[in-house]
Structure formats: structure tokens, C-alpha cells
Amino acid sequence: MTQLVDTVDQRQLRTALGHFATGVAVVTTLVDGAPIGMTVNSLCSVSLAPPMLLFCVGHRSQLHPLFASASHFGVHVLSARQEEVCEQFARPGRSRFGDLEWQPGLTGAPLLPNSLVTLECAAERVIPAGDHDIVLMSVQHLHPLCGDSPLLFFAGAVRDL
């Protein structure tokens, strides 16, 4: 029988939750005409009718105020062939696009090529939750799906199927 833990150690919790395999996504937006983006594994479907998603952004991230106040987002579910894109957008700092190609979507959000799934979303609400904010979004456009395998995050590392 499993013994219950009275207090939750943050490191142990992080390790435990790291054993929940998740997809990997990059969320992008425009700030003063410049594209910004970050890797997330907190992307979650909220509702099909109306179509809604959420992602989380940490309060300590320098991108937090930019994403918490953005109006539109590009959401890119990464394919197994996009591990370098995942790493590029997981780096610290504001400027993560570098020389990566992108194009404006129908909402103006910067869109990356070759993602497994690409959606354009509008911000609906930002909900404070502990040391993160939950950004609730409505899906405005779904772009054609790519037939690749997904990139996954499990036990502290990216993997594929």
C-alpha cells in the first residue's frame, strides 16, 4: 500500500509529474511587430464547443508580461523532426526566433512552418494560478495537419514515438 506524503517537496513533485508524458508545443505572438515565442508542455484542450485551449506561463519568465497581455497566439504542436525548434524556444531570453522562418497568420500571429498542428487563437482570459498564469484562448483557425509523429516530453527529456 502506498504511503501518503504529508508535505509536498517541489523537486519530488516535479520529478513525479515529469513522468506524465506530454506533447511539446511552441506558442508565439507579436510584440511591437517582433515575433516572440516559447516552448510549452502545458497545452491543454478545454472545450470543443466553443473551441478553447489553455497554456501556462510562469511568473518568473521574462516573457510572462508579454504573453499575459497578448491578444493573439500561434500554437504549434511540434513534430518529432522539430526537436531543434523545441530547444531554440526553450532557451532563456526574449529573442528566440533568431533566423527561423515564420509568416503572419490570419490573426497576425507569427506561424512556424512544418509543425504537426498549427492553430491560431485569441486570448480570452488570464487566470492567476500559483506561480503561473493560465492563458485561456479561443481557437480562431486550424491549419492543415501534417502527417508526422509528435515530439513528446517525458522524464525531463524530449522523445518521439
Please give the tally of structural domains in the chain.
1
Residues 20-65: tens digit of each pLDDT: 777 899 999 999 999 999 999 889 999 999 999 999 999 999 999 9
Residues 94-104: tens digit of each pLDDT: 889 988 999 99
Average pLDDT over residues 124-146: 94
- Of 7, 121, 34, the closest CA to residue 75 belongs to 121
| CATH classification at residue 102 | 2.30.110.10
d(CA 39, CA 37): 7
C-alpha distance from residue 137 to each of 77, 114, 119, 134, 158 (Å): 15, 22, 11, 10, 25
How many residues make up the chain in this entry? 161
Residue 100 lies in a domain: yes
Q: Is 100 helix (H, G, I), strand (E, B) or coil?
A: coil
Amino acid at 41: N
Terminal CA-to-CA distance of the chain, rounded, Å? 32
d(CA 120, CA 131): 26
Residue 39 lies in a domain: yes
pLDDT value at position 4? Answer: 60
Model confidence at 5, in pLDDT bands (50, 70, 90)? low
Residues 136-149: tens digit of each pLDDT: 999 999 998 887 88
* Residue range of the domain that includes 44: 23-106+113-160
pTM exceeding the 0.85 threshold for the entire prediction: yes
Residue 119 has pLDDT above 80, yes or no: yes
pLDDT value at position 38? Answer: 96
User: Residue 26: which residues within 8 A CB-CB, separation 6 or more?
Assistant: 37, 38, 39, 40, 75, 76, 78, 85, 86, 89, 112, 115
pLDDT value at position 75? Answer: 98
